Structure 1
Amino acid sequence: MQFDVILIGSGFGSLTAAALLAQKGLKIAVLEQAKYPGGCASTYKRKGYWFETGATTLVGLDEHMPLRHLLDVTGIKLPLLKLETPMQVHLPDRQVLTRHADLEDWIKEAERVFGAKGQRPFWEHCYRVSQQVWRTSLEQLSFPFSNVQDLWQAIRQVRPHQLSMLPGAFRTMEDLLRRYGLLDNKLFTDFVNEQLLITAQNHLVEVNELFGATALCYTLFGNYYVEGGMIGLARALELYLHNQGSTILYRHHVNKIIPKDEGYEVSCMADTYRSRFVISGITLNDTFQLFQDKKVRQRLKPYLLPSEKLNGAFTMAIALRNASAIPVLHHQVHVSEGLPLIGSQSFFVSYSHPADKGRAGEGERVMAISTHVPNPATLRIEDKRKLQEAIITKMEDLGMLNRADILYLDSATPGAWIFWTQRAYGMVGGYPQYRDIKPWQMKDARLDHRGAYVCGDSVYPGQGIVGVCLSGIIAANKLLRDHF
């Protein structure tokens, strides 16, 4: 079967690129190995409840942000509820820190908990940087550069505010905290480290200022809940693709991508598809395994990260009765002594919205819990019940649940993630940020400079739905500019 573009995987980066290319009239096929769309930003059904696969928070709808751009271009409508309070953080000293959506309210809260020293200038600086980063992201769609045309396009789009950001690529978040006299504030540095793990997958000594400031400020932009779960995002794009004459083919596990004289041959066990162009929406590690082309594999090798530089996840899915009194949906819980077996010092909790009746029964709510597992290929969780018990005990102690109200509980290790998503090592959250990898050194959207491209959370700009949305925008933009 012949298509203009085949996309591997239905993660949000792939779906973004697919929607933008379909909007230009190209015939698109998305090949997805699972039975649901969305990849690591989806929802699955178990025992009558709908649980989140991975991502639970949504940003990117403000002006100059990628998701807003996608919706404006395509006209896609999403089933969203705006959150008044994005998150609460339960600190080791038992203080509860509220991540207010308003900058001024947030600074007052940060000063209340961490002390006044340095907080206001630090957060005003981070917020200013984050605004510049998002504005620049849609102005510089040729970034990172991989040919002369990219560089020429970038020069034409240069604005003064972009140049002012450049030094931030050479400074780490550790440097920024030192600048504002905050490095000796242990409660604050611990808070920053665990917050950075959510969106940058690393700590302040490694994350550069541009990514770090943006990561820390995501609660200061519009935060939304998707009715029915994150699968609502993917379903909205799936419907758009169908309306444009394109499709998503489920239960199609791609095992080979073979370049041909005219386009590409994509093999899915017994089925073979042909296309003029191909976009891989899976990780670079997995893309490397699929491409039957030595030159592509040689180009990808320097960008691949081993397990010791990646994170897996331990996740829990819980259904509760009598949980309607919890008003804030998202919580980060600090565990200074570390969780058993894996040593993680925080876990993230997301409740379903009390107004969302589609994910649980009357008077019930579901919740997703996740925590990082470093070096997932070697860290084996032999008895996950110990980890479950530590998390439930901590949450019960904080008044976040009553174990007698648990109607259903299941948990998953990185091994389960490998089974569900087919991602190398069970990697979640994308490639972590590292100080020795500058933004322009990250893998750009082109794979072979012929017609193969890549997007997703292991290429620029990396993590989160808003980040992979931008990667899909860039991949679609480069494909169209290269060939049309």
Structure 2
Amino acid sequence: MTSTWYDAVVVGAGFGGLATALELTQRGARVALCETLNYPGGCASTFRRHGYSFEAGATLFSGLAEEQLFGRWVRQLGLDVTVDWLDPLVELRTPGMRLGVYRERQRLMDQLHAFPGAPADALRGFFTLQQQVAQALWPLFDDPTLLPPLDLRALLRHTSRATRYLPLVRWMGRPLGAVLERFGLLGFTPLRTYLDALCQITVQCGATEAEAPFALAAMDYYWRGTGHVRGGIGRLASALAGAVETGGGEVLFANRVKSLEPVPGGWKVTSRQGELHARHVVANMLPQGLVRLLGLPPERVPSYLRTLAGRVEEGWGAVMLYLVVRAPGEASPSAHHLELVQNEQAPFVEGNHLFASLSGEADTGRAPPGHRTLTVSTHVPLRSLMARSEEEQARLVSTIQERMRQGLRRLAPEWMENVQHEMTASPRTFERFTQREAGAVGGVPRRAGLHHYRTLGPREVQRGLWLVGDSVFPGQSTLATALGGVRTAACIARAARIQSPSKRTPAALASDTNRSTLST
């Protein structure tokens, strides 16, 4: 590897890094994307072990509709990606309840209204507010130019939408529990269970403590281009990595970045395959990982990174089961997702709440014919886990995994009758699969507080050094991290005065193979 200067080096090929690299290459920048693993996707990847393919994490993915970010990329770039539109998308099961989340929103509301003693007027009022909030916030995800940084045109568009934002103002900095109390719904168990389960996997905390506007918007997640990528989400990640290369970027797998060092004119990136130099570096990782790459003593760590790292540590690690099962005879051929809650009154963590993603018959190559792969996940508090010795951690994880098996046998017995293969994963194992420090998942829990609104756009940690991913705005989901990457790329292009290929001279385009637009 030569010491050629790049406009940007992106560290980490999760969806935040993939989106940053793709957007920059489409704008005509010279980009290198470095990834420690030999496959892309990070937490949202598909990996292969023992002849089977598993999703790294159990989840669903949004933004796949034609008018949304991933859908637009698939269509415009001709990516070999097929989306299956599941119905139902998720089935929530408890010992006393089953609730299907279908593609038609009204079906969920009808099921809630059908429970004995359901407060019909309160439910209608709550969902009216929820739709107002979702209709105000989701267009920001559908059109990335509405997210910071904002130019004059975007500001004018926001001004014209001001009345849509009014329902948010009252609830900013307040928990969703206050909204439920306002409508008299705190004691309505079916809704509370649904919201606790949904919030735990979207905003990463219980419903009563979640920041209300975030949680209300997250309730629309299932109806905003959410689907199943056939073959696993890794198919989309690989397709985006291929699009980066087609656009002129370099994608360097199995290339662990060892350190970052500021140098005159930019940054030196020391990697397994050699040194790279860039005017800008984009770190698609947790703040803890960036601190490690910078090699700074504690007293020199920027306060922003120190605060953000502390908030991540208030979140969760992942405890996993990866199963291969013989599909029951009555099973639908499509992929499927289950949320299982063993006790609605207990915290939705440590095996009490499970999310399970099951492959479908069309996911060829992931398991033998007639079999399915299951990725099953639950949360464990990071700080509680990290405070224990390694031996104590191992005992706790083993206890949680047995509780997960019990939950599966109790609430999804049809999928546990013929288990052919099992692989377990602790947060430490998840760290190896994804390169996430401490096996952390989900970024920063969005508990109620106005601090969530203080940094609403890409931010340089140091001059020319940027952080993307689920710990920074706009949030936790795969779509949100990708949008953050798109907006970070816009900031870098603006700062570096990178022109899109259509606006550059033929001579400048011809020189791209020999030098960067920011060569020294």
Give the TM-score taking structure 1 as reference length: 0.90
Query: Is 1:119 matched with 2:118?
Result: no
Aligned to 1:159: 159
Give 1:307-326 correspondences, 5 Å limit: 308-323=313-328, 325-326=330-331
Does structure 2 retain, via aligned residues, the 8 Å contact 1:329–1:351? yes
Deviations 1:375-413 (A, max 9, x none): 242352326454333322332233443545111101111
Q: 1:345 aligns with which of 352, 358, 381?
A: 352
Deviations 1:62-90 (A, max 9, x none): 47644345556655452211112110100
Give 1:185-224 correspondences, 5 Å limit: 185-224=188-227
Which one-letter code corresponds to 1:378 in the other structure?
A
Partner of 2:490, secondary structure, is helix
Q: 1:179 aligns with which of 178, 182, 191?
A: 182
Does structure 2 retain, via aligned residues, the 8 Å contact 1:439–1:461? no
Q: 1:479 aligns with which of 492, 502, 509?
A: 492
Does structure 1 retain, via aligned residues, the 8 Å contact 2:14–2:41? yes
Does structure 2 retain, via aligned residues, the 8 Å contact 1:296–1:448? no
Give 1:292-441 correspondences, 5 Å limit: 297-305=302-310, 308-323=313-328, 325-327=330-332, 329-336=336-343, 343-375=350-382, 376-378=385-387, 380-382=393-395, 384-401=397-414, 403-441=416-454
Query: Is 1:227 matched with 2:236?
Result: no
CA drift at 1:43: 0.8
Which whole-Å CA distance do the structure 1 matches of 2:130 and 2:66 have between them? Answer: 18
Q: Size of the alignment, in residue pairs?
A: 479
Does structure 1 retain, via aligned residues, the 8 Å contact 2:42–2:435? no
Which whole-Å CA distance do the structure 2 matches of 1:21 and 1:224 have between them? Answer: 27
Partner of 1:255, secondary structure, is strand
Query: Is 1:134 matched with 2:148?
Result: no
Does structure 2 retain, via aligned residues, the 8 Å contact 1:324–1:363? no
Which whole-Å CA distance do the structure 1 matches of 2:420 and 2:268 have between them? Answer: 47
Which whole-Å CA distance do the structure 2 matches of 1:65 and 1:425 have between them? Answer: 32
Which whole-Å CA distance do the structure 1 matches of 2:152 and 2:303 have between them? Answer: 26
Give 1:52-91 correspondences, 5 Å limit: 52-62=55-65, 65-68=68-71, 70-71=73-74, 74=77, 76=79, 78-91=81-94
Which whole-Å CA distance do the structure 2 matches of 1:65 and 1:168 have between them? Answer: 27
Aligned to 1:244: 247
- Which protein is bigger by CA-based radius of gyration? 2
Deviations 1:118-159 (A, max 9, x none): 2233223223322321213466757556xxxx5867634423
Q: 1:96 aligns with which of 71, 95, 98?
A: 98
Which one-letter code corresponds to 2:158 in the other structure?
V
CA drift at 1:28: 1.5
Percent of residue pairs bearing the same amino acid type: 26
Which whole-Å CA distance do the structure 2 matches of 1:167 and 1:62 have between them? Answer: 31
Aligned to 2:12: 9
CA drift at 1:427: 0.4
Deviations 1:150-187 (A, max 9, x none): 58676344234344234342332112111221012234
Aligned to 1:48: 51
Which whole-Å CA distance do the structure 2 matches of 1:74 and 1:176 have between them? Answer: 42
Deviates more, 1:383-392 or 1:368-377: 383-392
Give the TM-score taking structure 2 as reference length: 0.84
Q: Structure 1 residues 337, 436: CA separation in 2 closer, same or farther (over 3 Å shift)?
A: closer
Partner of 1:159, secondary structure, is helix
Does structure 1 retain, via aligned residues, the 8 Å contact 2:66–2:75? no
Query: Is 1:461 matched with 2:474?
Result: yes
List gaps (5 residues or longer) in structure 2.
498-520
List gaps (5 residues or longer) in structure 1.
none
